[in-house]
C-alpha cells in the first residue's frame, strides 16, 4: 500500500491558477564553476555540491525571494553515470577528487537537498507570513548524465531502452534513500529535458515500479522540443504525453529548455492536446543559435528580426511575452499551470514573471 503523501502542488497558492517555478539554476551558478575541473566537466552545477554547497543554498534563496514557489535542486547532472565520468576524467588528468563529502549519488543528493531545505527555512524565517514553498528534486535525462548535449539529440550510444529504464530505477531508489535520510516528505521530483519517446517509455516503466509507486512520491515530468509539437528526436509530443497518463502520482507534465513558442505549444494548440493534470512550462530566456553558437532573443510575432543581433533586452520583456502568450491560448486552461524559466533565466526573470502575473504584488 502506498504512503498517503498529498500532492505538494495542492498546498501552493496560485496566481489565478498559475504557480511560479524558479529559473535557470545553472545560469545562476555557472560563474562559480571551475570549468577545468573533472567534476564540473562531468557534473556541471552539481559539482558545486562538492565544492561550494553554500553557493547553491544562496542561489535557492535568491529564487525564493524573487517569488518562486517551487525550487529545483542542483542535481540535474548527478547520477552514477556522471560520477563515473568525473572519476574517469580525474584519473586521466591525474587530478585527485575531494574526499569529503563522499562522492556517491546518495551522499551528494543528500547535501544538495539539504541546501534547498536550509534555503527554504531561511526564507520562512524572513517571511513568517509566507505560504508553502515546495522543493523539487531535479533529475536530468540520461543524455544529461552522458554529457555532450545528448539530452537534446537523444543519441545515447550503447544505451538500450532497457538499460535506460534500469538506470532510472536505480536513480529513483537513490532519491528515495536521500529523502529518507533527511526526513523530507513534502517534495516532488522534477524529471527534466527528456528528448525522446524511447526514454519517456523507460521513465514511465521506472515510475510504475511497485517500489516507487509505494513510496507515494509525486513527479513532474518535462520533455524538450525542437519544433512545434515535436520532441527533440522528431516524434509527436502527444505520443510522449500519452505515455505519462497511467503514471501514479504524476503532478504535472510539460516542456522545459525550449523557446517560449515551443514550451507553450500544448497550451496554445488544439483542445485535444493530451496534457494532465497540470501543465509545466519552463522555457529558456533566449534562443540558442546553433550556427552562430550564441544566444539570441526570441523573435516576437510581427517582429521576425527581433533579437537577430543577439541583444538581450531584459527579464521584463521575457516575462511580458510569456504571460501574453499564456493569456492568448486557444485551448482549455489546465487546472494548474506551472510557469518558470530554464537556461538564460535568472532571479530577475522570476521577479518579472511574478509581477506580470500579479500586477499589484507577487505572492510572498
Cell of 341: 524559466
Residue 188 annotated as binding?
Answer: no
CA distances from 328 to 267, 306, 325, 332 (A): 9, 20, 5, 11
Residue 293 annotated as binding?
Answer: no
Burial class (CB in 10 A: 0-12, 13-18, 19+), 145: buried
Contact (Cβ atoms closer than 8 angstroms) between residue 361 and residue 43: no
Instruction: Return d(Cα 17, Cα 334) in angstroms, integer.
Output: 8
Instruction: Return d(Cα 150, Cα 154) in angstroms, integer.
Output: 5
Q: How many residues does the chain have?
A: 364
Question: How crowded is residue 11: how many other Cβ atoms within 10 Å of its Cβ?
Answer: 13
Sign of CA dihedral 67, 352, 250, 223: negative
Residue 257 annotated as binding?
Answer: yes
Residue that has been written with the C-alpha cell 565520468 in this structure: 85
CA distances from 151 to 128, 225, 295, 309 (A): 40, 11, 18, 27
Cell of 232: 527533440
**Nearest CA-CA partner of 170 in 110, 201, 135, 211:** 211
**Nearest CA-CA partner of 64 in 15, 120, 115:** 120
Sequence ranges of the binding site for Zn(2+): 257, 342-343
Sequence ranges of the binding site: 257, 342-343
Amino acid at each position: 500500500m502506498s504512503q498517503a503523501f498529498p500532492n505538494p502542488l495542492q498546498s501552493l497558492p496560485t496566481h489565478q491558477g498559475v504557480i511560479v517555478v524558479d529559473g535557470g539554476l545553472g545560469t545562476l551558478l555557472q560563474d562559480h564553476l571551475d570549468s577545468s575541473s573533472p567534476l564540473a566537466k562531468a557534473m556541471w552545477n552539481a559539482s558545486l555540491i562538492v565544492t561550494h554547497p553554500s553557493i547553491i543554498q544562496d542561489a535557492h534563496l535568491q529564487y525564493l525571494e524573487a517569488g518562486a514557489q517551487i525550487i529545483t535542486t542542483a542535481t540535474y547532472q548527478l547520477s552514477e553515470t556522471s560520477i563515473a565520468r568525473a572519476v574517469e576524467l580525474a584519473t586521466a588528468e591525474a587530478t585527485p577528487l575531494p574526499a569529503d563529502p563522499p562522492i556517491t549519488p546518495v551522499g551528494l543528493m543528500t547535501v544538495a537537498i539539504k541546501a534547498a531545505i536550509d534555503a527554504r527555512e531561511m526564507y520562512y524565517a524572513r517571511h513568517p507570513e509566507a505560504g508553502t514553498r515546495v522543493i523539487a528534486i531535479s533529475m536530468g535525462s540520461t543524455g544529461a548524465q552522458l554529457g555532450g548535449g545528448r539530452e537534446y539529440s537523444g543519441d545515447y550510444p550503447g544505451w538500450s531502452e532497457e538499460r535506460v529504464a534500469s538506470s532510472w530505477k536505480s536513480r529513483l531508489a537513490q532519491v528515495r534513500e536521500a529523502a529518507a535520510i533527511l526526513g523530507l516528505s513534502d517534495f516532488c521530483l522534477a524529471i527534466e529535458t527528456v528528448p525522446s519517446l524511447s526514454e519517456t517509455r523507460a521513465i514511465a516503466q521506472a515510475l510504475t515500479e511497485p517500489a516507487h509507486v509505494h513510496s507515494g512520491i509525486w513527479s513532474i515530468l518535462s520533455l524538450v522540443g525542437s519544433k512545434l509539437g515535436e520532441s527533440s528526436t522528431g516524434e509527436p509530443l502527444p505520443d510522449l504525453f500519452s505515455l505519462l497518463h497511467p503514471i501514479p502520482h504524476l503532478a504535472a507534465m510539460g516542456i522545459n529548455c525550449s523557446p517560449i513558442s515551443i514550451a507553450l505549444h500544448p497550451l496554445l494548440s488544439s483542445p485535444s492536446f493530451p496534457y494532465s493534470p497540470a501543465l509545466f512550462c519552463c522555457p529558456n530566456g533566449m534562443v540558442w543559435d546553433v550556427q552562430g553558437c550564441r544566444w539570441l532573443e526570441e523573435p516576437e510575432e510581427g517582429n521576425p528580426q527581433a533579437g537577430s543581433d543577439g541583444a538581450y533586452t531584459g527579464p521584463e520583456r521575457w516575462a511580458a511575452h510569456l504571460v501574453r502568450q499564456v493569456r492568448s491560448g486557444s485551448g482549455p486552461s489546465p487546472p494548474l499551470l506551472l510557469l518558470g524559466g530554464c537556461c538564460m533565466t535568472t532571479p530577475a526573470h522570476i521577479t518579472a514573471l511574478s509581477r506580470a502575473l500579479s500586477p499589484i504584488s507577487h505572492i510572498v
